Every structure is written in structure tokens, then in C-alpha cells.
Amino acid sequence: MDFSIIINEYQFYLDGLWTTTWLVTLSLLLGLCIAIPAGILRCSENKFIRFPIWAFMYFFRGSPLLVQLFIIYYGAAQFEWLRESWLWEYFQEAWFCALLAFTLNTGAYTAEIVRGVISTMPKGELEAAKAYGMSQWQTLRRITLPNSLRRALPAYSNEVIFMIHGSAIAGIVTIVDITGAARVVNARYYAPFEAYLAAAGLYMCLTFSVIFAFKQWEKRYCVEQ
């Protein structure tokens, strides 16, 4: 066991950490932008709105993220029209495909959280707000959103962890994230144990800091309650 390799190549791992961080953060933010409208529309009365949203969520929640990434990264090249359009500039980049796959995936999972929170919203609180004469917008801002956020937070923190762990497959499609860095170091020195152990340590630090941050956030919300 020779961990001096890791110390020599720490720059790789730092770059990897940075790539993982921005890739996951951006996917989560974009995913949230998809998830909130999707989660609300999923509860719609109209069948023609509800069904496509259901299909989107079912597909991305029911199949592995790896396969979704491969469909986008390798699959895009199958279409002649895509290769000739301006979009190809993006679809030939691994980071774009990973970002797209991660965003759609986390969007579907988060939409399910949004749906769950909306459908279990306590009716009494909404009725009370109405009785107080609040407008719909006021009810949304003062009652629905804070209440939903509080109830969605534990599930969402799980989703964030899931995304950090899921993003490890980005290293498979040539992106130098933490996994990618470990693969490069392993290829150079043939030291799989050291290389992957260092990556595992980094992921663990990342995971536990996120869990800690969410715990603090949840605590603050409970005090306000």
C-alpha cells in the first residue's frame, strides 16, 4: 500500500471534486426547475396533462441512471438530423450529456417528492387561510410553500445524496470527476486500491458535509415552527 501516489496526484482529485460538485449542483438546480412544475401538473385534473408527466416520471424513476446516460451519450449519434444540427455541438460533449441525464433523472425523482407533499397538504390549514381572507397567492406564499418545504426537506436531502452517489458514473463517459480522477490515477500507477480508496474518502466527506448541512437546515425550520 503506497499512499504517496495520492499525495503526488492530489491535483487530479481536487479537479475531480470540483467537477463533481458543479455537475451535481447544476443538475439539482435545473432538476428542481423541472420538478416543481412537473410535480404540480402531475396532480392536475386533466388526463392529457397528467399522463405525459406520469410517463416521464415513470421512465426516469424506473430505469437505471447509467442506462439513461448511455441513451443520451451514445444514443444521440444514431440520429442523422441531430448530428447535422447545431445541437450536435453539445451532444458530443460528455459533460453536456451527463448534465442532461442527471437533470432529467433528479427532476423526475424530485417531482415525485413535490407530488407527495402537495397531495398530503393538510386541508385544515388551507381552509383556515381562506377563512382569514388570504388571497390564493398569499396562501401559497405563507402557508403552502413553507409547510411543503418543511415536509419535503428530509426526502430531498436523500435525493441530493443519491445524486452525489449517482454522479459517480460520469467517470465512465470520460468526464474527470472524482471517479474519473481515480480511474486516471489507477491507469497510471496500477494502484486500484489506493486510487479508489481516496475517491471513496472524498465522496464520504462530500456526503457527510451535505447531510450535516441539511440537518442544520431542518433544525432551523423546526425552531421556526
Partner 1 sequence: MQELLNYQPVLLQGAWLTVQVALLSLLLAITLGLLGALAKTSQSRILQIIATLYTTIIRGIPDLILMLLIFFGGQMLINSLSYSINESINEYFTSYDINHEWYSYLPDYIDISPYFAGIVTIGFIFGAYMAETFRGAILSVDKGQIEAATAYGMSRSKIFIRVTFPQMMRHALPGIGNNWLVLLKTTALVSIIGLQDMVKIAGDASGSTQQPFTFYLAVAFIFLFFTAISSALLKRLEAKYSIQAR
Is 164 one of the binding residues for partner 1 (CB under 8 A)? yes
Measured CA to CA, the distance from residue 41 to residue 115 in angstroms comes to: 9
Specify the residue, 26 or 71, whose C-beta has the smaller distance to partner 1.
Answer: 71
The three cell numbers locating residue 175? 468526464
- Measured in residues, the chain has a length of 225
Is 203 one of the binding residues for partner 1 (CB under 8 A)? yes
Please answer whether residues 16 and 175 qualify as being in contact, where contact means their C-beta atoms are separated by less than 8 angstroms: no
Is 207 one of the binding residues for partner 1 (CB under 8 A)? yes
Measured CA to CA, the distance from residue 210 to residue 137 in angstroms comes to: 32
Distance of closest approach, residue 141 Cβ to partner 1, in angstroms: 33
Is 165 one of the binding residues for partner 1 (CB under 8 A)? yes
Q: Torsion over CA of 205, 186, 73 and 63, rounded to 10 degrees?
A: -60
Q: What is the DSSP string of 37-78?
A: HHHHHHT-S-HHHHHHHHHHHHHHHHS-HHHHHHHHHTGGGG
**Closest residue by Cα to residue 95 from 34, 33, 22, 202:** 22
Alpha helix (H) residue ranges in 43-173: 47-62, 65-73, 80-84, 88-91, 94-119, 123-131, 136-139, 145-166
Measured CA to CA, the distance from residue 223 to residue 33 in angstroms comes to: 28
Is 192 one of the binding residues for partner 1 (CB under 8 A)? yes
Is 193 one of the binding residues for partner 1 (CB under 8 A)? yes
Binding characters for partner 1, 109-148, by CB under 8 A (x = yes): ----------------------------------------
Specify the residue, 129 or 184, whose C-beta has the smaller distance to partner 1.
Answer: 184
Q: Give the range of 46-54, 88-96, 114-122, 196-204 binding partner 1 by CB under 8 A.
A: 196-204
- Segment 57-96, which members bind partner 1 (CB under 8 A)? 58-59, 62-68, 70-71, 74-79
Q: Give the range of 26-34, 120-128, 145-153, 164-172 binding partner 1 by CB under 8 A.
A: 164-172
Binding footprint of partner 1, residue count (CB under 8 A): 39
**Applying CB under 8 A, which residues contact partner 1?**
58-59, 62-68, 70-71, 74-79, 161, 164-169, 171-172, 179, 182, 186, 192-193, 196-197, 199-200, 203-204, 207-208
